[in-house]
Amino acid sequence: MPQSAPADHPNLPARTLVVLGTGGTIAGRASAVGDNVGYTAGEVGVGHLLAGVQGMAAQLHTLSGWVFEAEQVAQVDSKDMGPAVWRSLLARVAHHLVRPEVAGLVVTHGTDTLEETAWLLQAVLAPAKPVVMACAMRPATALVPDGPQNLMDALCVAATPGARGVVAVCAGQVHQAGHVQKVHTYRLDAFDSGDAGPLGCVEEGRLRAWQPWPEGTADRPLFQRLLATTAWPRVELITSHAGADGAVVRALLAASLPSAPLRGLVVAGTGNGTLHADLLTALADAQAAGVVVRRGTRCAYGQVVPGPHDALADTGGLSPVKARLALVLELLAADPC
Residues contributing to the site for ligand SIN (CB under 6 A): 23-25, 41, 77-79, 110-112, 135, 137
Contact assessment for residue 134 and residue 26, using Cβ atoms and an 8 Å cutoff: yes
- Is position 160 annotated as part of the catalytic site? no
Query: Which residue, 191 or 232, is less far from ligand SIN as judged by CB?
Result: 191
Closer CB to ligand SIN, residue 85 or residue 267?
Answer: 85
- Closer Cβ to ligand SIN, 66 or 86, answer by number: 86
Minimum CB separation of residue 26 from ligand SIN in Å reads 6
Q: Are 290 and 262 in contact (CB under 8 A)?
A: no
Taken in order 331, 123, 132, 8, the sign of the CA dihedral is negative
Q: Which amino acid appears at position 227 of this protein?
A: L
Give Rg (Cα) of the chain.
Answer: 21
Closest separation between CB of residue 76 and ligand SIN, Å? 7
Distance CA(138)–CA(134), nearest Å, equals 13
Nearer to ligand SIN, 79 or 220 (CB): 79
**Catalytic entry in 16, 22, 25, 160:** 25
Which residues make Cβ contacts (< 8 Å) with residue 259, sequence separation at least 6?
A: none
For residue 240, give the amino acid letter.
Answer: S
**Nearest-CB residue for ligand SIN:** 110
Alpha helices in 3-130 (DSSP H): 46-59, 83-97, 114-125
Kindly state the smallest distance separating residue 27's Cβ from ligand SIN, in Å.
8
CB of 147 within 8 A of CB of 140? yes
- Give 48 or 208: the residue with its C-beta nearer to ligand SIN: 48
Among the listed residues 176, 178, 179, 161, the one whose alpha carbon sits nearest the alpha carbon of residue 213: 176
CB of 115 to ligand SIN, least distance (A): 11
- Min. distance of Cβ 37 from ligand SIN in angstroms? 10
Q: What is the DSSP letter of 143?
A: S
Q: Which residues are catalytic?
A: 25
